[in-house]
Structure 1
Amino acid sequence: MHSFLRAPLALLALASLAPVLPAQAQQNTNPPGVPDTKTVGRPVQSAKDPWLYEKSDLVHDDAWKFGRLSNGLRYAVRKNGVPPGQVSVRVRMDVGSLMEQDSERGFAHLLEHLSFRGSVHVPDGESKRIWQRLGVTFGSDSNASTTFTATTYKLDLPNATPAGLDESFKILAGMMSGPDITQKILDSERPVVLAEQREQPGPRVRLQDAMLDLMFAGQPLSQREPIGTVETLNGATPATVQAFHDRWYRPERATVIAIGDVDPALLEQMVVKHFSDWKGTGPAVPTPDFGKPVEGKPVSASIVEPALPVLTTMAIVRPWTVDGDTVIFNQKRMIDLVAIRIINRRLETRARSGGTFIAAGADLSDIGRSANITTVQVLPVGDDWEAALRDVRGVIADAQATPPTQAEIDREVAEIESSMKQRINTAPVEAGAKLADDLAEAVDINETVTTPEFSYAIFRGAVDGKMFTPATVLASSKTVFQGTATRAMVNLHTPDPAITTKVASALEANVAASAKRKLVGNVSFDALPKLGLPGKVATREQILPGTGIEKLVFANGVTMLMRQDPSETGKVYVNVRFGNGLSGLSGTAQTPAWAGEGALMASGVGKYGQDELDALTGRRQIGADFDVDDDAFTLKAQTTKDDLSDQLKLLAAKLVAPGWDPNPVLRAKVATLSSYANLSSSPDAVMNRDLERLLHNGDPRWGIPPKATIEATTPASFRKFWEPILASGPIEIEVFGDMDAEATVKAVAATFGALKPRVASKAPLAPVAFPAHVETPVTLTHTGQPNQAAAVIAWPTGGGTDNGGISESRKLEVLAAVFRDRLLDQLRSQAGVSYSPQVASQWPLGLPAGGKILALGMVPPDKVDFFFELSRKIAADLVAKPIDADELNRALTPLKQQILRMSSGNMFWMRLVEGGTYDPARIAGVETLAADYSRVTPMDVQGLAMKYLRPDKDWTLKVVPEKK
């Protein structure tokens, strides 16, 4: 059963070392439509059709219609109206890098690229243009991915008409059966694939390669990264690529998934019409044996990458054995999941309180139909990986030696149950693209899909059958850490000749079971700080007729924008904006603002720390994130109608009585410093660190601060900086979604409306400036691969909402889209210099200046000047003459379709009007939204280019390799 209970292993996902937060959901009553748990399942299906459920006893999701063509191609179609008008198509080929021979490494991915260029039905490059005219954004709405086991082509077609569907299915069918593999196209696209390989971050790639070599030793997967090698890619010829295509691109290896806001019969008709004539070339070739984990291979390895944190990854590998997706298979996996969650919660509690590791986490995954693997990643404090690994193994040993308490189990079970109930609640608004991706992934891992109700019934069957007990979880805690082999890798900052022996010894060393189990006692929202008497509504009015948005002002000065809209079932979005954000900070001095997003919410509320807050909110859909925006600080969450009152209480209490636990600050500091060297390790890392600051003329409010600033941050300085910010400045709240308007007003009145009036700062805001024109590019260096560089060219525009600023910003998006399309064609498709160049228009509505049009490309060092020449040539041409109608249509139609799709969600409307109670122009700008895009003309685009793309105003930057 493919569901959120599966988490793919990310061998390099340092993000997986972030705090292990509990799944959050709501509802305490059983949802409707859930069958009796005693009758869950059905007899194991022995027939091939519906093909997805062979060898499975899971209840079919009848919303899908499954079929099979006479040539062996399988398909699934379904009706779905989220977002309205869109159809999502996935063509999954059972062809990945594991099907390649040694001389073909990278061919599956190369063929993915070639298929998009041209095919039997369209000439080279025309499919992109056709889809643009249909509203498709290249790279997001039309894309593909190649993995170890599959190549999946993705198309999200907005405003799908019968004619557009017919054309799209025709193109996709031609891409599969007859890609145009000529010498010319191969020579054009090969540099793009090599650029994609070149632009990958070297340290992470080397770490991943080393991990694959160790973890999957003796299996093909260890030597089959989908990107391939320079040698094999350069050695590819039309004949060898065609031979690979003919061997593997066959209808019986294809699965077509189509879901969207049309009659499924039409989708089925499209599949039959365009894919039935496809015939394989020559005899079918069996899928190669992917092998099994083997004993007798090295159990330890190391790599020296100073740009990455010291990191230990331990893996227990077992054979991959998924042969049938059954009820009992899923229930046993759920017990394993509970065992892993309990261990992760204990690890997170240890990390939060300080100790030998910043973060640690375990994960259970199936990888590449090659192995089932338990991984444990450990990010130590400093360089002492041995102490950190020992302590983490101690926590695991404790879980294997002593059963968990039933209270621990019940907590995890309750949170999983709440998440599954919330999934049932929100199923009506699940996006079709997400459902299509889920089904494609289920096919990939030999699993199925079922309804959220039957997923929940399977879970309840395990609960009612008393499968979650201290004894069963103890047994799982043992089995998930047993396997064919246990292997570990350590990344170091300096070489250690004895490291492999040390790692092997660390794996074999006896560890004392950690007895430090922190159990959180009873927690209650009633124990949060008191907020005062409910406030009164001073004014309430409807704004923007037809949108359902209301504006309220409370007696204490708190303002609110509210929209009651049940279209997104079970979802309520909450934003609390206060203060002035970056614009209110010092424009000349460094501050501890950098740690706010990582440590402020984790520092607690009142007497509750993060562990207590997790226990308080874990079984419900209550969250708390913090962002620093240009013009405001923002507390934000997604909740539900039932949980909204307590959600608001939690956020208000954070402003009134913030906790100041020092550990989150220290943890954020250590974690940031541990990876600081990575900020110099590649061109894109350097730009992430410095570009925004440089584009704001060196203003310290933007960009990642210097290392010295991070080192100087203490819990005391953090509190001194943030405490007055939380306590001052006007408050604006947005509550949009599936809620009751009157109950919401009452809840806001009892929380934010009950606060004491807050005084806005009268200090003048520091000005914002764009850097002056430079004759020669600003030059930065990186410590990474010598064949990597980056180039940036930017032109100043504007900011704010005065004098038609909102309308101007929207038209500039069209200019940027035209510029991007030209740069993509000329820099990528024609020159093969960069894999994914970007062009964007940024116009900050909350600042009076600071906007820009920016073009960026990752290029070889010797092509930096070419990037600037080409960008300036494109800019000059846009200034010199109007674009033609077709080019405008191909840029404008995808933009319009993006807006139409987003407008079906409450978040879209919230973002449009946020800040509008203090800046009415933002609200007024909603009324011109359609006109601002639909009335753009070629002359408008030329006029904007003449106004802004001036050669005497541009600013350039290059990031080149450090001289050794």
Structure 2
Amino acid sequence: MDLRFASISVFAFASIQAPATADAQSAQASIAPTVVVPRPAASWPTIGSDVPLDPAWHTGTLANGVRYAVRRGKQPPGTISVRVRMDVGALMERDEQQGWSHLVEHMVFRGTAHYPDGEGVRVWQRLGASFGSDTNAFTALRSTTYALDLPRADAASYSQALSVLSDMLTSATIDPKLLTTERAVVMAERAQRMPPLVRKMRETTQPLFFAGTKSATRDIAGNDATLNGASASALRAYYKAWYRPSRAVVVVVGDADPALLEQGVRTAFGAWTAEGAEPTEPDYGTPRAPATSVATVSDPQLPSQAILALVTPHDDGVYTIARQQRNFVDAVAIGILRRRLDSVAQRGESIILATVGVTRQRHIEDEVIVAITPKPGQWSQALEATYRVLNGALAAPPSQAEVDEQTAKLIQSLSSAVSTEQTLASAAVANGFVGSIDQQGGTAAPIFYLRLFALQRATLTPDVIQSAIKRLLAPDPRLLIASNVPVPVETAAKALASSRAAAADAGVAVREVSLAQLTLAGQPATVTGSDKIADLGIERVHLSNGVEIDLKQTAFEKNRIRVVVTFGHGLLGETTAGASSLWSSAAVTAGGIGPFSADELERLGAGRAILFGFGVGVDRFTFTGASGRRDVESMMKLMAAELTQPQFRAAPLGRLRDAVGVGYQSTFSQPVSVFQRFGAPYLHGGDARFAPLPPLSTVEGLTLPDFRSFWSKRLASGPLRVLIVGDFDRDATVAAVARTIGTLAPRTDDRPPASLVDVKADVPARGPVQLHHEGDPLQAVVAKAYPTIGLLDDVPTSTALDIAARLVETRMIEQFREQQGGTYSPFASHPQSSAMPHYGVFLAGAQLQTGRIDDFTRALNAIIVDLGAHGPTPDALARARTVASSASERALSDNGYWMNVLTGDLDDPRYLAFTKAAVSRWTDVTPATVKAAVARYLRPERGFAIEVLPVAPTVTK
């Protein structure tokens, strides 16, 4: 259950990232040189529109007004994804009803006419759907959406799952006693998702950016007065008024006959009847100029930002081809502005990061948002530098090369949608259709958009794009300055006026770049041998330079090839002192590769899938990218060059240092972020290498020579493995590796000593570990940790502990959340790592009010003691096993899962046996094995607590 509202934008430093794409050339070849002729609108998604509905969708409207759209989806196999969008959200609420849409969303899970409290979730669990990930709901300004991803596609399971969902939407009981508890849960969620810093930003931005619209005064989360004012009878009346067939859209995508999917909708929702008159649509308002166009907000924890918003009314009419074509033009225009701003940021002057984007929201407004992260104390200089870019775009048309770069990117994206359409996950397809409803345009087939843009492309001249830029930048700007020190509004207003008058940036001359300019020194390697792990479908190929290629060929993602190059020993290869520079990994590829600067690499990658990211793993360093058959060799050529021809530059390192410094203090704004950033070493036996960041003084003290020396050594050492998963040509791909990574010189393997690898989650000290945050003084995070065993030390026991984590989390939800209202999101997990042979930790915790810490501890201890003494009930165990095995079975159809498999030690027979038993191992868990594992490893004296408390602890009962 989630609230969809904006939070603080803290821009992370960007390394080279791999776009999600496929082979654009093959898709382009299929474009027919004919004019697109839309077919007549035939169903509710296309009424009044000339955008044709994708014929794969089967749509209709039931007699009671429920609209539906169903289609076949085969990924993952044997699954069905259901979405029900209710046309009710925060914009439908009166002032005294704020938060009621979200409160109703919670209450429909708390009992219906045919399913008592909790039973609906248990039914879904018996079918293999987990609460929270497979079953959830989301409240937004304009809608409330219910999501169910069912791991079974048979008619009986589908019917039963829909029966629960339809009962929730048609006959929720909204019991007064349960409302009292769930109100506390909703308030806990609000406290977790809306800490004081986020709320301060919202209270400043809403009247500035949304002046004149109802959105300016709406809070999805509500407040104490409105939530406490929601009696059961009043909330039930609100539910009956807005939850009615005419406001429901049911979307189903799954591995079943569409006729069966449609019949399921008819059976489950066909008898739904509305009570009373249709509610009156609210006055959504119209954007108008705010009382003042400049606002500032300050807080010691705030990262510095300057945000410009250029607002225009949204066209609430139907979606048309003409509007889509205008959006294509705007996408090219915005892309050019974004690239120019990024180029300025790369110079390392006053801007750390700057970007621009467009949001279009029905019943709200359209916005062009320019978000700037300045260097500390340089927001006014950054604002002026931004306006030099904007004014330059207004003063003269872009170059043809700039237009070509952005159109190539757009073609790549549209082509990717075409080539991956048949293998896109059903959940993603369903989510996409629900998202399109707000535009009232339905969903056309991906090939329609590709062909439409191909026909339009020749018309996108520099003059046309400049006209779009002028239109997009025409509104008077609204400026928000966020700072950790006070900034007078008058000062910000003067800076805005001055910046708007800044001289236009003429840009810089750019040279033509081509991959032909990059040369690899060595000779291609030859294949010296290969072997197969037949029952896993994995092949291992060995090259003459010592490189190992591990391949897993799949058809899960059409024409998509995932590549990971691993080398070295990552975190475990470092001493505590050596690890202090690992935080700077994001700046490694940001300086450029070989003869290319980072800006040139971006241009080189336009329309091609050749860019990749660099990361630090527990036991390896990685280059990670996704490509298609046309581009995979080019991507690996760049990866090989990064290992031998890295470019270390001062500007990217300086930007990263500044970015870390800007965002560092905001870590302390809420307990969860403190736990995530500073709790990890305590979960690894006090090992400081696992801290995501060293002290800020260490970050600030890293010089360019030290940075270059640190990473040059690591890029040049350690054995190389190339892991490839996806839809590839085996022989061509092996040859591509041989011509790229295979040209590198053989590398030695200096394995770290056992003392650095044998990490355990030992108890760090007596008593709880206490960390502190500076956010809401009534909020805390508490987690209890119990050291366990390594992943392969004792697989049956590890599996039993995995199940125990599911059981503990479920019971914490049922008992501490749903019965006591003590928290929104209790969690339990059992992380292990094959990289650390004897590491395991059982972790259970929650964010909660400080006064509920003792209650949580008692509840958790009681659950663990009961499991250790009696084991789970047969039904609870069966549900946990079914959910776990269903998740494992679905993972077998996921390329990400197989890439993770390849990263393990394929020479270890224990690891291979574990992998082969990914699904079957869950069936061996019994009440006795869970009871024994809990009794052995979750004894009170074995565990320790980590508490994140407010700086000045406030305890309330």
TM-score range relative to shorter protein: over 0.9
Q: Secondary structure at the match of 1:929?
A: coil
Q: Spell out the pairing of 1:279-678 with structure 2 (5 A cutoff).
A: 279-295=273-289, 297-464=291-458, 466=459, 468-483=460-475, 485-496=476-487, 498-500=488-490, 502-503=492-493, 506-507=496-497, 510-543=500-533, 545-587=534-576, 591-596=580-585, 598-678=586-666
Q: Secondary structure at the match of 1:166?
A: helix
Q: Secondary structure at the match of 1:615?
A: helix
1:76 alignment partner in structure 2: 69
Instruction: Work out the number of aligned pairs and report it.
Output: 945
Note if contact 1:22-1:618 (Cα within 8 Å) is conserved in structure 2: no
CA separation in 2, counterparts of 1:298 and 1:100? Answer: 27
Note if contact 1:19-1:348 (Cα within 8 Å) is conserved in structure 2: no
Q: Spell out the pairing of 1:201-240 with structure 2 (5 A cutoff).
A: 201-240=195-234
Shift of 1:855: 0.8
Which stretch shows the higher mean deviation, 230-239 or 862-871? Answer: 862-871
Shift of 1:946: 2.0
Note if contact 2:383-2:499 (Cα within 8 Å) is conserved in structure 1: no
CA separation in 1, counterparts of 2:602 and 2:6? Answer: 25
CA separation in 1, counterparts of 2:146 and 2:873? Answer: 31
2:944 alignment partner in structure 1: 955
Q: Secondary structure at the match of 1:952?
A: helix
Distance 1:499 1:919, change over 3 A: farther
Q: Spell out the pairing of 1:712-723 with structure 2 (5 A cutoff).
A: 712-723=701-712
Q: Spell out the pairing of 1:191-202 with structure 2 (5 A cutoff).
A: 191-200=184-193, 201-202=195-196
Residue 842 of structure 1, aligned match among 826, 831, 835: 831
Note if contact 2:885-2:920 (Cα within 8 Å) is conserved in structure 1: no
Shift of 1:634: 1.2
CA separation in 2, counterparts of 1:883 and 1:811? Answer: 11
- Residue 126, structure 1, aligned to residue 126, structure 2: no
Q: Deviations over 1:555-594 (max 9, x none)?
A: 2222121122334211111111111111101135652101
CA separation in 1, counterparts of 2:659 and 2:463? Answer: 36
Note if contact 1:21-1:614 (Cα within 8 Å) is conserved in structure 2: no
Q: Spell out the pairing of 1:689-704 with structure 2 (5 A cutoff).
A: 689-703=677-691, 704=693
2:888 alignment partner in structure 1: 899
Shift of 1:509: 5.1
Distance 1:698 1:895, change over 3 A: same
Q: Spell out the pairing of 1:35-114 with structure 2 (5 A cutoff).
A: 35-42=32-39, 45=41, 49-114=42-107
Shift of 1:913: 3.1
Distance 1:757 1:22, change over 3 A: closer
Note if contact 2:569-2:620 (Cα within 8 Å) is conserved in structure 1: yes
Shift of 1:203: 0.8
Shift of 1:919: 4.1
Which stretch shows the higher mean deviation, 639-648 or 518-527? Answer: 518-527
Shift of 1:321: 0.8
Q: Deviations over 1:180-222 (max 9, x none)?
A: 1121121121110000011123212321232112111232111
Shift of 1:554: 1.9
Distance 1:217 1:719, change over 3 A: same
Distance 1:395 1:163, change over 3 A: same
Note if contact 2:23-2:559 (Cα within 8 Å) is conserved in structure 1: no
5+ unaligned residues in a row in structure 1: which ranges?
1-7
2:8 alignment partner in structure 1: 12
Shift of 1:235: 1.4
1:756 alignment partner in structure 2: 745
Note if contact 1:113-1:189 (Cα within 8 Å) is conserved in structure 2: yes
Distance 1:725 1:566, change over 3 A: same
1:154 alignment partner in structure 2: 147
CA separation in 2, counterparts of 1:670 and 1:189? Answer: 43
Note if contact 1:81-1:432 (Cα within 8 Å) is conserved in structure 2: yes
Q: Which amino acid aligns with 1:689?
A: R
Which stretch shows the higher mean deviation, 354-363 or 792-801? Answer: 792-801
Q: Deviations over 1:754-784 (max 9, x none)?
A: 2211111155252424242655312111111
Shift of 1:426: 1.0
CA separation in 1, counterparts of 2:790 and 2:305? Answer: 43
CA separation in 1, counterparts of 2:479 and 2:561? Answer: 43
Distance 1:855 1:25, change over 3 A: same
CA separation in 1, counterparts of 2:84 and 2:322? Answer: 31
Distance 1:715 1:815, change over 3 A: same
Which stretch shows the higher mean deviation, 853-862 or 697-706? Answer: 697-706
1:916 alignment partner in structure 2: 905
Shift of 1:294: 1.4
CA separation in 2, counterparts of 1:586 and 1:917? Answer: 26
For the aligned residue pairs, the C-alpha RMSD in angstroms reads 2.0
1:5 alignment partner in structure 2: none
CA separation in 1, counterparts of 2:521 and 2:810? Answer: 53
Distance 1:404 1:19, change over 3 A: farther
Shift of 1:78: 0.8
Q: Spell out the pairing of 1:250-289 with structure 2 (5 A cutoff).
A: 250-289=244-283
Q: Spell out the pairing of 1:809-828 with structure 2 (5 A cutoff).
A: 809-828=798-817
Note if contact 1:529-1:657 (Cα within 8 Å) is conserved in structure 2: no
Q: Secondary structure at the match of 2:864?
A: helix
Shift of 1:251: 0.7
CA separation in 2, counterparts of 1:615 and 1:33? Answer: 25
CA separation in 1, counterparts of 2:31 and 2:446? Answer: 9
CA separation in 1, counterparts of 2:902 and 2:799? Answer: 15
Q: Which amino acid aligns with 2:248?
A: A
CA separation in 2, counterparts of 1:663 and 1:835? Answer: 43
Note if contact 1:695-1:770 (Cα within 8 Å) is conserved in structure 2: yes
CA separation in 2, counterparts of 1:786 and 1:618? Answer: 48
Q: Secondary structure at the match of 2:108?
A: helix
Q: Which amino acid aligns with 1:134?
A: L
Q: Deviations over 1:5-25 (max 9, x none)?
A: xxx996633348857979665
Q: Secondary structure at the match of 1:170?
A: helix
CA separation in 2, counterparts of 1:824 and 1:518? Answer: 58
Q: Secondary structure at the match of 1:120?
A: coil
- Residue 876, structure 1, aligned to residue 865, structure 2: yes
1:778 alignment partner in structure 2: 769
Which stretch shows the higher mean deviation, 688-697 or 518-527? Answer: 518-527
CA separation in 2, counterparts of 1:58 and 1:654? Answer: 45
Q: Secondary structure at the match of 2:55?
A: coil
CA separation in 2, counterparts of 1:246 and 1:316? Answer: 38
Shift of 1:260: 0.4
CA separation in 2, counterparts of 1:895 and 1:9? Answer: 31
CA separation in 1, counterparts of 2:638 and 2:797? Answer: 39
1:3 alignment partner in structure 2: none
Q: Which amino acid aligns with 1:873?
A: A
Note if contact 2:12-2:659 (Cα within 8 Å) is conserved in structure 1: no
CA separation in 1, counterparts of 2:808 and 2:752? Answer: 40
Distance 1:887 1:21, change over 3 A: closer
Note if contact 2:18-2:611 (Cα within 8 Å) is conserved in structure 1: no
CA separation in 1, counterparts of 2:626 and 2:446? Answer: 20
1:4 alignment partner in structure 2: none
Q: Which amino acid aligns with 1:633?
A: F
Which stretch shows the higher mean deviation, 151-160 or 900-909? Answer: 900-909
Q: Secondary structure at the match of 1:82?
A: coil
Distance 1:774 1:874, change over 3 A: farther
